[in-house]
Amino acid sequence: MNTLGYFITFEGVEGSGKSTQIRYLSNSLISRNLSTTLTREPGGCPIADKIRAILLDADNSAMSAMAELMLYAAARAQHVNEVIAPALSDGGIVLCDRFCDATVAYQSYGRGLDRSIIDTLNSHACSGISPDLTVLIDCDPRVGLERARRRIELSSGPREERFELEAIAFHQRVRSGYNQLAIDEPQRFVIVDGAGTVEGIALEISAAVLARIPEGLRAIS
Ligand SMILES: Nc1ncnc2c1ncn2[C@@H]1O[C@H](COP(=O)(O)OP(=O)(O)O)[C@@H](O)[C@H]1O
Ligand SMILES: [Mg+2]
């Protein structure tokens, strides 16, 4: 448990709308004067951002599944230590675009790595921190990948598309993995349908989050 703050993670397949929706939620919480840190994985701090670049670079198609898993764990250990844990200790809300569930969905359900290795690495990387609430945006990967492809074509930044280039069957396994995680921990997960409109989904998420966050979280000073 996180002693003071409140930790919310966003999960879902590529293009499900995580980055779009987490920005909406962040603005909604800030407009309620709640101290809010918006971050993402892999990355979220300079050292982990360097690992992100390796993980998402489509040129790294030769990366082994185990090397990939360990890079995620290394990036997470740094990010938790440098960003997430301090913000939670300070009594704030932390919103993180992907977290441990992504590693289970992609590396275990997607790649077939042993779940017990993933759970062990996640637990070491998180040093006792776990999400209080996880918003799972459930979305057909064909819809999500089409959106993600369009976003990548329009962006001028690095082509972070190593996962977008995986076969559709891989993304279907990731989607079912996420749904299984939500079945396993129904208290922690809120599932929203990613096929709705951006505004409709944003309202649904903000209502679910506001109904759950505790009193007494840190205000913006
Ligand atoms: N509900 C939605 N309907 C239609 N397009 C969407 C929706 N949510 C997001 N998008 C668009 O799809 C693309 C991918 O969304 P994004 O939030 O980046 O997804 P993710 O972070 O889950 O990969 C973006 O261009 C975004 O504007
Ligand atoms: Mg995103």
Residue 193 lies in a domain: yes
Residue 221 lies in a domain: no
Q: Which atom of ligand 1 is nearest to the CA of 20?
A: 17
- Kindly state if the Cβ of 32 falls inside 6 Å of ligand 1: no
Residue 217 lies in a domain: no
State how many domains the chain has.
1
Residue 27 lies in a domain: yes
Beta-ladder partners of 34: 219
Ligand 2 centre distance from Cα of residue 53 (Å): 14
Ligand nearest to C-alpha 144: 1
CB 131 within 8 A of CB 8: yes
- Kindly state if the Cβ of 20 falls inside 6 Å of ligand 1: yes
- Kindly state if the Cβ of 24 falls inside 6 Å of ligand 1: no
SS3 state of residue 174: helix
What are the structure tokens assigned to 85, written together?
Answer: 């844990």
Beta-ladder partners of 47: none
Ramachandran region of residue 124, left (φ > 0), alpha (ψ -120 to 50) or beta? alpha
Q: How far apart, in whole angstroms, are the C-alpha atoms of residue 141 and residue 146?
A: 8
Ligand nearest to C-alpha 138: 1
CATH assignment at residue 105: 3.40.50.300
Q: Which atom of ligand 1 is nearest to the CA of 97?
A: 21
Residue 25 lies in a domain: yes
pTM (two decimals): 0.96
Taking the alpha carbons of 120, 121, 126, 130 in that order, is the dihedral positive or negative?
Answer: negative
CB 36 within 8 A of CB 23: no
Residue 188 lies in a domain: yes
What are the structure tokens assigned to 146, written together?
Answer: 């089409």
- Kindly state if the Cβ of 18 falls inside 6 Å of ligand 1: yes
SS3 state of residue 59: coil
- pLDDT in single tens digits along all 221 residues of the chain: 556 899 999 999 999 999 999 999 999 999 999 999 999 999 999 999 999 999 999 999 999 999 999 999 999 999 999 999 999 999 999 999 999 999 999 999 999 999 999 999 999 999 999 999 999 999 999 999 999 999 888 988 888 888 888 899 999 999 999 999 999 999 999 999 999 999 999 999 999 999 999 998 999 98
Q: Which atom of ligand 1 is nearest to the CA of 154?
A: 25
**Residue 155 domain boundaries:** 6-212
DSSP code, position 216? T
What are the structure tokens assigned to 158, written together?
Answer: 């690095």
Residue 219 lies in a domain: no
